[in-house]
């Protein structure tokens, strides 16, 4: 069994900084601190595949993959109250980021099935976004046929984790709290990665029992409807 490795795609100053311990822009310093920085263009499937290949070669296939892409541009169109003022170019760019989840899931699953990860806890988490509609990543994670998920993914599942309003279970209010919620994300993700059983948080439909949607609050707790 290779050393346990977590690959966090989309490193930044919020969830990733808290999850990995700190965030520094200099690759040399990151390496000194014990991290293995990899440059990735999340809009490019080829770039993602290359990054996974580099990690597989240097560290072995990761047993934990967190897709932490940034949808901030979609949240702030030129006219905040009019989402249709967002340019087609910006929408295309962000859609490409959403579609990259597919590539990341393929690459992660290949590593999960490898002999090096035999007997390890394997977890794939997509960081949710605070938008009031479902993007490509949520749809991809939730709509895979149940028999395929059960047969191919095994006992461990994939998660779409969303930080939500504690009262309604919907988008945060104020929305600005999303951008300072790194510690809450880190706490929830660590719980998902280290637990022995499959979490049963917030089933979106009766057949989604491996690819789950985990909604949690700023307190780092599972959201439950009052």
- Residue 206's pLDDT is 31
Task: Report pLDDT digits (tens) over 139-167.
Answer: 555 544 444 444 444 445 678 777 776 66
Phi, then psi, of 47 in degrees rounded to 5? -65, -40
- Are β-strands 123-127 and 158-163 bridged in parallel, bridged antiparallel, or unpaired? parallel
Q: Which tokens belong to 98?
A: 């959403």
* DSSP per residue, 95-118: HHHHHHHHHHHHHHHHHHTSGGGT
Query: Is 57:116 a contact under the CB 8 Å cutoff?
Result: no
Mean pLDDT of 206-225: 50
pLDDT at 7: 94
CATH of domain 6-216: 3.40.50.720
- pLDDT value at position 6? 92
Buried b (16+ CB within 10 A) or exposed e, 60-96: bbbbbbbbbbebeebbebeeeeeeeebeeeeeeebeb
pLDDT greater than 90 at residue 222: no
């Amino acid at each position: 069994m290779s050393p346990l490795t977590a690959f966090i795609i989309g490193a930044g100053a919020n969830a990733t900084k808290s999850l990995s311990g700190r965030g520094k822009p200099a690759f040399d310093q990151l390496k000194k601190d014990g991290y293995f920085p990899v440059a990735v263009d999340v809009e490019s499937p080829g770039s993602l595949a290359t990054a996974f290949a580099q990690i597989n070669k240097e560290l072995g296939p990761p047993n934990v993959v967190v897709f932490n892409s940034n949808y901030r541009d979609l949240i702030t169109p030129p006219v905040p109250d009019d989402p249709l003022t967002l340019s087609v170019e910006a929408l295309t760019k962000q859609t490409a980021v959403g579609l990259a989840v597919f590539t990341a899931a393929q690459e992660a699953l290949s590593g999960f099935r490898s002999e090096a990860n035999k007997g390890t806890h394997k977890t794939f988490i997509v960081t949710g976004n605070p938008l009031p509609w479902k993007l490509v990543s949520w749809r991809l994670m939730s709509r895979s046929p149940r028999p395929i998920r059960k047969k191919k993914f095994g006992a461990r599942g994939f998660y779409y984790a969303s930080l939500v309003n504690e009262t309604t279970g919907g988008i945060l209010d104020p929305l600005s709290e999303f951008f300072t919620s790194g510690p809450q994300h880190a706490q929830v993700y660590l719980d998902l990665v280290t637990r022995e059983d499959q979490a049963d948080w917030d089933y979106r439909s009766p057949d989604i029992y491996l690819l789950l949607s985990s909604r949690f609050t700023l307190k780092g707790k599972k959201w439950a409807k009052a």
